[in-house]
Amino acid sequence: MQIRELKIPDSYEITPKQFGDDRGVFLEWYRFDKLAEIVGHSIDLKQANTSVSKRGSVRGIHFADIPPGQAKYVTAPRGAVLDFVIDIRVGSPTFGQWDSVLLDDVDRRAIYIAEGLGHCFVALTDDATVSYLVTDTFNPAREHGINPLDPEVGLEFGIDLEDALLSVKDTEAPSLAEAAAAGILPTWEAARAFTDSLNTGA
């Protein structure tokens, strides 16, 4: 398993080693110990989610209040998605920037996204299946969104936006600037303090 830090601090691309033979393939798609070595603490998983999407579907940008936030470990067991991590932590040196990882059923990569970061993906195939391991259960009162088409963020989906399928909730979500003005974005200081508390076991 190879783990590479993305350009957004506290996010990582995980590439598993695959073992194939005439029966098929085997891989370890999640290893708590390997991930803990990199992020500095073990990941306390509390919920697993799966979504199945048509080609062109866009889900996100989503995030949760911190603390406790919701870290995510995401992979695509079927089809392909382009998965984005967006730094929405006010005061972060990479605030407003993003990075992306292709998740598919060929390389079978995963992405880890720490608490306080924004998450979004676009389905590149029909029946694109995405599975998430997350560190907190869904709490609608603490969940927020940013419009994924916000030009200030400038996500590059690799598809014609006329073909994009978005929920009403996502299209009506505020822009990054509007979310910052409303005071709903996490801060760099709060995110780092929370991560530090996990690293020390406080």
Question: Mind telling me the catalytic residues?
Answer: 62, 132
Question: Residue ranges of the alpha helices (H) in 6-160?
Answer: 32-39
What is the C-alpha separation between 101 and 118, in angstroms, rounded?
14
Whether residue 27 contacts residue 122, with contact meaning beta carbons closer than 8 Å, is answered with no
Return phi, psi of residue 177, to 5°. -65, -40
Written as six digits, the tokens of 7 are 């350009």
With contact defined as beta carbons under 8 Å apart, do 1 and 15 qualify? yes
Sequence-ordered list of residues with C-beta below 8 angstroms from that of 67, at least 6 positions apart, any chain:
115, 190, 194
Q: What angle do CA 161, 83, 155 make, to 5 degrees?
A: 45
What is the layout of strands, in order, in the sheet containing 98-104? 98-104, 80-86, 118-123, 58-64, 143-145
Let me know: does 155 contact 83? Beta carbons within 8 Å: no
